[in-house]
Amino acid sequence: MLGAVFSFRGRLNRIQYFLGSWALGTVTIVLALIVVVGVAGSRGMDQANLLRAGVTVLIALLAIGPVYFWISFSLQARRFRDIGWEPVFVIPAWVGLDVVDRLAVYGAPQIAVVQGMGASWLGLLLNLGLGLCLLFWPGRKFEDIASVFDDAPPPPSRVPASAAPAARPATQWSSNPVRTGFGRRGL
């Protein structure tokens, strides 16, 4: 079960990516609200309580942040693979362009969308475009993909007739000589 959340292998279709992203966002917001309520629930906001609240928020960010980014990159990598793009190249390029955008805004603050935001219109459009691709770009069909990343066997249409298992002969205990069954092994 944890492999489905933390693994970078396999593919995710659009619905699975949407639901996974929605669940990740919901869990993150709930954890952030717990931290905020815990900090706001301090008895008074004197210097010691303010310092304790800051340390609590920092510890929560250091604990939640890496797990959030790992799961997020895992979802994105599997969705990119379903689209047909190689995530080893797409995700670092996406992060690199975001870093270049933020450095450009830091060097020239007048190109920022909002003062102090740290993103330009070009960076926002790039992130919006890639986010929409992840949500709406159709995935490739199983037949179109070499099973390099998938552990699944090839579809039945690709199995040659010579490789198909022969029907077993009826045994003395079988009243029905025709083999009927459910699944691979039958009932």
Adjacent-strand bridge partners of 104: none
Cβ atoms of residues 119 and 113 within 8 Å: yes
What does the radius of gyration of the chain's CA atoms come to, in whole angstroms? 26
**Average per-residue pLDDT for the chain:** 79
Q: Please check the confidence at residue 147 and state whether its pLDDT lies above 50.
A: no
pLDDT for the residue 43: 61
CA dist., res. 41 & res. 29, Å (int): 18
Nearest one of 45, 122, 133 to 87, comparing CA atoms? 133
CA dist., res. 86 & res. 90, Å (int): 6
Nearest one of 116, 96, 94, 97 to 105, comparing CA atoms? 116
Residues in the chain: 187
Between residues 78 and 158, the one the model is more confident about:
78
Q: Please calculate the CA angle 155-158-162 and round it to the nearest 5 degrees.
A: 120
**pLDDT tens per residue across span 47-99:** 777 788 788 888 888 988 999 999 999 999 999 999 999 999 999 999 999 99
Amino acid (1-letter code) at residue 54: G
Sign of CA dihedral 46, 47, 53, 54: positive
Q: 3-10, long-range: CB within 8 Å, 24+ apart, which pairs?
A: 5/71, 5/74, 6/70, 6/71, 6/74, 7/74, 7/78, 8/73, 8/74, 8/77, 8/78, 8/87, 9/78, 9/149, 9/151, 10/78, 10/81, 10/149, 10/150, 10/151
Q: Is this model's pTM higher than 0.85 or not?
A: no
Label residue 10 by pLDDT band (50, 70, 90): confident
CA dist., res. 35 & res. 56, Å (int): 8
Map out the domains of the chain as residue ranges: 2-143
pLDDT for the residue 8: 86
